[in-house]
Structure 1
Amino acid sequence: MKLYFYPGACSMAPHIVLRELGLTFDLDQVDLQAKKTKGGEDFGAVNPKGYVPALRLDDGEVLTEVAVVLQYLADLKPDAGLLPKAGTMERYRVLEWLNFISSEVHKQFSPFFNPKITPEWRANQLNLLGRRFDYLSARLGDRPYLTGAAFTVADAYLFTVLNWHKLFDIDLGKWPVLKDYHARIMARASVKDSLRAEGLAK
């Protein structure tokens, strides 16, 4: 398998999961402006949508969309427990979190990447994001992970987008539950290894 990624982008979530599962994979960094990869590929031909992640499977098929890639990877090693068994309410709860993170957390961060964001727009986005952080804090409570005691693909995704707080000077100290959660995930070997591999840590 090959994971096409951009350092620190949402492609870090499947990167973390690949390492959690101990799967064999290659990494190819994407220049999102030039639509070329370090390996010399035309990324526009890999994923015409133009963004990461993209996962090329051993048979040549390419999967896109972070939540789908995460589910695919988890199902390769179901006994690892990163995604509960199909048909169980536990699985639907993880899928519920994946959708919430995608549509209500990831999406609220997106405008911060726009260089044309105005102070008023930024303030509005901070307010929306703050409400999502309030909800996450209340739901997490004293649980170590989103669905309880077990780390799942949803935690890999939430950590990845929460990590963007550093890029935009958003103080997680206002949400101590989330700050502790972020630190707890950061301490995992798979996360440390992913950050180093993407050039974001020593």
Structure 2
Amino acid sequence: MMHVLYWSGRAGSLAPLCLLIECGVPHETVQVDTSRHAHKTADYLRDVHPLGTVPALRLPDGQVILESGAMVLHLAELAPSLAPAAGSADRAMFLNWVAYGAGSLYPAYQRVYHTDHIVPDEAARPAAREAAVVALDRCWDVVEAALEAGRPGLFGDRPGAADVYLAMLALWHPAPERLAAACPKVRAMKDAVWALPSMRQALAVHGLETA
């Protein structure tokens, strides 16, 4: 068996697909048509993801990883060049930044794009969304402060797994021009990730010429 990635556009599957390609491991992709609620069918809920979300990554032994951040950590184990060595100080920070993407940035985007799920009062939603964008920008300021000018990512001279994950999350910002102006080092990291041949292939699969 091989890895199987269940994916849909802009659903957190871009980074795992890039890393699957970068690792060179045998894999298949299964597009999930969320516009037709394919992620909510009984088969998908039973066999793939019990919460009916995308992406999901089936391992060669049949087990399924349900969270994109966990997929990034798993795939980094398959290609040592994608992450700092285990036991090193940089390894600890690598784990930190993947967890930061999953635990701080991801929820911040949920509050921006799904304000209606959080704020029952329709009249209060515009102000709540504006506050959510401000909070999202503060999250990106933390990443900007951690990056070094002239360096393509958080670790080493080539973008690694954490950079790929954060670059995907940067793609979702509701005001990309403002993010680029406020966080030029984040933009430089994102550009370096986009230049990876593996990311170019992943973008093509997702129907994105550029990002």
Q: CA RMSD in A?
A: 2.2
* Counterparts of residues 117-196 of structure 1 (less than 5 Å): 118-142=125-149, 143-165=151-173, 168-170=174-176, 171-172=178-179, 173-196=181-204
- Aligned-partner residue type, residue 93 of structure 2: R
> Is the Cα–Cα contact under 8 Å of residues 163 and 189 in structure 2 kept in the other structure?
no
For 1:60, what is the secondary structure of its paired residue? Answer: coil
Cα deviation for residue 201 of structure 1 reads 2.3
> Is the Cα–Cα contact under 8 Å of residues 4 and 58 in structure 2 kept in the other structure?
yes
Cα deviation for residue 86 of structure 1 reads 2.7
- In structure 2, the partner of 1:58 is 60
TM-score computed with the length of structure 1 as normaliser: 0.86
> Is the Cα–Cα contact under 8 Å of residues 8 and 200 in structure 1 kept in the other structure?
no
Cα deviation for residue 94 of structure 1 reads 0.5
Cα deviation for residue 159 of structure 1 reads 0.7
Gaps of 5+ in 1: none
* Counterparts of residues 62-101 of structure 1 (less than 5 Å): 62-78=64-80, 81-101=81-101
CA distance in structure 2 between the aligned counterparts of 1:136 and 1:115, rounded to whole angstroms? 24
Cα deviation for residue 65 of structure 1 reads 1.2
> Is the Cα–Cα contact under 8 Å of residues 159 and 189 in structure 2 kept in the other structure?
no
TM-score computed with the length of structure 2 as normaliser: 0.83
Query: Which protein is richer in helix relative to its size?
Result: 2
CA distance in structure 2 between the aligned counterparts of 1:50 and 1:41, rounded to whole angstroms? 9
> Is the Cα–Cα contact under 8 Å of residues 93 and 147 in structure 1 kept in the other structure?
no
Higher relative contact order (CA 8 A, sep 6+): 1
Extract structure 1 runs of 4+ deviating beyond 6 A.
Answer: none
CA distance in structure 2 between the aligned counterparts of 1:198 and 1:33, rounded to whole angstroms? 15
- In structure 1, the partner of 2:122 is none
- Aligned-partner residue type, residue 169 of structure 1: A
Cα deviation for residue 34 of structure 1 reads 5.0
> C-alpha deviations, 1:72-99, integer Å up to 9, x for none?
2222233xx1123333322211001111
Gaps of 5+ in 2: 120-124
CA distance in structure 2 between the aligned counterparts of 1:176 and 1:68, rounded to whole angstroms? 27
Q: Taking structure 1 as reference, are residues 90 and 59 closer, same or farther at Cα in structure 2, changes over 3 Å only?
A: same
> Is the Cα–Cα contact under 8 Å of residues 10 and 53 in structure 1 kept in the other structure?
yes
Q: State how many pairs are aligned.
A: 196
For 2:65, what is the secondary structure of its paired residue? Answer: strand
